Structure 1
Amino acid sequence: MADHLLEQRRGNVSILTLNVPERRNALSPDLRARLYEALVAADEDPQVRALVLTGAGGHFSAGGDIGSMDVTRLAEGRTRMRRSHRLIRQLCSMGTPVVAAVEGWAAAGGLGVALACDSLVCSEAARFSANFGAVALLPDLGILHTLPRRVGVARARQLLLYGEPIEASEALRIGLVDQLAAPGQALEVALARAEALTHRAPLPLALTKALLAEGLEALLERECELQSQLFLSADHAEGKAAFLAKRPANFTGA
């Protein structure tokens, strides 16, 4: 999996690139684990003062790998969620600040990863979506914590219930992202923001992040239990089948 996550260094800024462009950087369990390990290593490296997270092939990440969602027991669902939650905990609580550089789509779990970053830069061609309902799942990867803190509860409710895509200009207007860049330039703008953070005192940055993450842990525990149950629902099985067959789903509430 090493080639599915590229690592570069520009001065005191580390760049991590999700590199599965043929699948729009879908977040398979292996890729999530690899990204978690890279984030821990960067946070433990005193030479890394800021980090940029981006995606290859013109997209940030299309979200979870639907084909890998093969959960048949409650315990399996809990294990899957807890492994994913390591990644979100690390992004939100690690002392090193993280800037997301989004080109193309940041959808579902990909949006969750982007929202867990400290700053979010996107190109004018970026698109965002939290359409978890399409596969009969709860918004996860901490989105129910991070999204309301960016856009407010009322607007987050609408984005999550309807799952409608958001264009870059609207994302900036509502506070979903922090800065726009020209198409193809999100990484360069994000690198400039990360470079600015390398000149800030690191300890206050780390403590600020820790305080802002308060409340996340309790939400992730509830998310783990509820999503694990939804993995076993008939509607989730129907949602996966419909997604893979590229047809409308027929949900029954079971």
Structure 2
Amino acid sequence: MRLDAGLVFLSDSRTNAGVDAISTARKMTVFEEPGDRVMVLLTAGNLAISQAVRQILAEGRDEKRSLWAARDMFEAAAIVGDAVRQVHKHDAHALREAGIEFNVSLIFGGQIRGERVRLFHVYAAGNFVEATPENCYFQIGEAKYGKPIIDRVVEPTLPLGEAAKCALISMDSTLKSNISVGLPLDLLVYEGDSLRVTRFVNIDEKNAYFRMIRDTWGQRLRQVFGEINDPEWDANAPAEFPLARQGAGDRWGQPVRATRERAGTQD
């Protein structure tokens, strides 16, 4: 999430799921030069591809074109995209021959001294888009389960603490519904213009705050659900929020009905 106050990053660590095959690997990498730049990379998709991209970026420390030498975050995002293309050039053909898709997606964001915080979504082709005030967050991987809470809550003016809470609730919703996502989680909250990592935590099943989030969110959802009126089917009875439309002329008032085709008789 890219907010007026800074950035929030959250990742899980499950890379494979099955009846008897579950493995973990951390999907968040921090590139930091305190006082000069902080950049965070989140990865999803094929683990071998994302690890190769990360290694290329980390080994570029002494090169002129690297994350450590980028003049701004746009140039840094382009360098990430170039790393993806480099891995694609090396591995895509062999993967295709093995029937494996070149599947990787990345979120990349941070701040370089002298400019604002910025956030990018980098695609498998190496191209990227930047977060805007109208669309201030990105999700990759199994995003659909936790997306609704973010859509309803997150906007650029949201304080970092509330944004982190929202991210954790969103992730808990995904954990509840999808076995391919699992603990532990990495949470990094970056305060704009600090140019250093000050708020980071690795969250496992024993984390007291996350356990509270999980228990409280489930209880409050059931509470709010119970407070919402049941649908009123009797269109003739007065209701504060009637479900059925009024008026016999409503052409949508009946379901589509299939008619039974009967065999004709012959003389």
Tell me if TM exceeds 0.5. no
What TM-score, normalized by structure 2, do the two folds share? 0.26
Q: Counting strand residues as a fraction of each chain, which structure ranks higher?
A: 2
Larger radius of gyration: 2
